[in-house]
Amino acid sequence: MSQSMQAGFPIREQVTSFIEGRYTRLAGHELPVVFPGDARRISTLVEAPADEVDAAVRSARAAFEDGRWRRQPVEARQAVMRKVADLVDQHRDELAYLECMNSGIPMRHLQKGQIPRTAYNFRFFAEFLGQHAEKLHGQTDGYLTLVLREPVGVAALIGPWNAPLALTSMKIAGAIAFGNSCVCKPSEVTPLAVARFMELLVEAGVPPGVVNLVNGRGGVTGEALVAHPQVDLVSFTGGTQTARRISASAGEGLKPLSLELGGKSANIVFESADLDRAVDAALVGIFSNNGQQCLAGSRILVQRTVLERFVEAFAQRARKLRIGSPLDPATEIGPLAFQAHRQRVAGYVDIARADGAQLLCGGAPVEALEPGFYFQPTAVLARDNTARVCREEIFGPFATIVPFDTQDEAYAIANDSEFGLVSYVWSDHQPTVMRALSEIRAGMVWINTPMTRDLRAPFGGIKASGYGREGGESSMKFYTFEKTVMLPTVPPSIPRMGI
Ligand code: NAD
């Protein structure tokens, strides 16, 4: 397939499916792949219709059934997974570039964060595979009761556009480590880096067919994938509305489901906090990754006694954030991922005003950088938690600050949300911290630290932020099923019937 050269790294002119170790059809429904930095079309996605999804699933099923991967010795699988990680390291700049060009995430964040994380996902699960032990119960007289873990089969792995490769690679590593095959469906907005990664998987020695890729819109390619009768389980990261549709379809097929969804997470700043550090972290919490993160601390709850100081410092720093091309190493905030998304984010400025919120900074597109999809880092001060900007996930560089007076009020506001993904707490007063741990209803709580993730620990939310957990042992539990084996230590006596 022909390729065009952009800044030293090739970008495929067409991104198709990748099945059985090869890119597939060249014709079909086309979608533009756009560089959000200047709205330029840089590639074309050729959508996989249902028959191609079927081919991808059948290929993964055949790979699973003939055991070309799952029957390999653990050491062999570990070696291949480590090789994948090495290849990601070697291609770090290229993968970062591809991701940057269709997501608008700043290059330097990709080079230091998401792409090394992709390599780490594979190293981590390779090591995990070498450590995990099966279970044995010896209490039943005359028996050893073994509890074995076996791969579930073919996994559908569906991802969003805000961290395409880092998230998809975590799912792939977890799925194949334990012997599953999979079919990935990245967001139609950001197919480039995941597609290139497929080639690296094959180069590293993952047998063709074990990991297949289909590209296309959710309503076409994604729905066909989830509904496919030969898909055994579904791991989904994306929005809550989509998750409702996926869970209806997966429920019909009784397929296990892991749902990592959106959030409107509280970042609680108490008067007992180190305010400088809390401001630093609040900025990172809402503006990193161009504000497009599920983990964003997008509702910043600030105790009224320190509100004025916090707001002044936060808004002043937000105004100084360096907005620019995501390819520029100095850039702190790049463009939003696509035009319609920017319009949606911008719409929340009027929504905030209508609810009586005060605009503290930003609130408009960056005219000097048109036609790129840039939006000024924005913060509003809400009157209370009933404002729509406190209740709905905006998924952009848009912070909502909400005042509170007492601890009770802080927890009531934090928990008064449809979502329950994560939460952040800032206080140097230990009793306050300890109380926060038990009061906050969310899948994860960070104390006096911005987001860091430990892949050994479960990650996921509650309520509209989803259910199911991935990471370490949780991934193992999700991507395997338990098979119990009763093994007699001496021949057991068998009642003789029918004599
Ligand atoms: P989205 O729900 O629109 O799409 C996610 C994926 O689902 C895409 O690949 C899309 O094509 C596919 N899809 C859409 N409809 C489908 C259907 N009917 N059947 C099958 N697949 C379908 O989400 P998005 O806009 O791409 O991503 C943003 C959302 O993802 C935000 O809500 C964000 O919070 C969430 N997110 C959550 C996490 C987490 O770990 N909890 C991480 C990143 C992003």
Segment 152-177 shows an average pLDDT of 98
Q: Is 161 a pocket residue for ligand 1 (Cβ < 6 Å)?
A: yes
| Residue 82 pLDDT level (bands cut at 50, 70, 90) | very high
The model's pTM is: 0.96
CA of 237 to the centre of ligand 1 (A): 5
Residue 3 has pLDDT above 90, yes or no: no
> CA–CA separation, 164 vs 192, rounded Å?
9
What residue owns the CA closest to ligand 1's atom 10? Answer: 218
Tens of pLDDT along 415-441?
999 999 999 999 999 999 999 999 999
CA of 336 to the centre of ligand 1 (A): 16
Residue 132 CB contacts under 8 Å (≥ 6 apart), including other chains: 149, 473, 476
CA of 447 to the centre of ligand 1 (A): 28
Q: Is 238 a pocket residue for ligand 1 (Cβ < 6 Å)?
A: yes
The whole-number pLDDT of residue 261 equals 98
Residue 6 has pLDDT above 60, yes or no: no
The H or E element that residue 168 is part of is helix 164-177
Strand order in the sheet with 143-151: 135-137, 143-151, 480-488
260 is known as an active-site residue? yes
Structure tokens at 354: 């209508």
Contact 422, 263 (CB under 8 A): yes
Residue 374 has pLDDT above 60, yes or no: yes
Contact 184, 196 (CB under 8 A): no
Nearest atom (ligand 1) to Cα of 421: 41
Pairing state of beta strands 211-213 and 266-269? unpaired
Q: Is 439 a pocket residue for ligand 1 (Cβ < 6 Å)?
A: no
Segment 1-30 shows an average pLDDT of 81
Nearest atom (ligand 1) to Cα of 186: 9
Tens of pLDDT along 477-493?
999 999 999 999 999 99
Tens of pLDDT along 10-22?
999 999 999 999 9
Segment 32-46 shows an average pLDDT of 98
CA dihedral 164, 344, 292, 100 (to 10 degrees): 50
Question: Alpha helices of 132-161 — where are they, by DSSP H?
Answer: none
The whole-number pLDDT of residue 459 equals 95
182 is known as an active-site residue? no
SS3 64: helix
> CA–CA separation, 324 vs 314, rounded Å?
20
The whole-number pLDDT of residue 25 equals 74
End-to-end CA distance of the chain: 73
Out of 20, 47, 52, 260, the active site residue is 260
Contact 46, 25 (CB under 8 A): yes
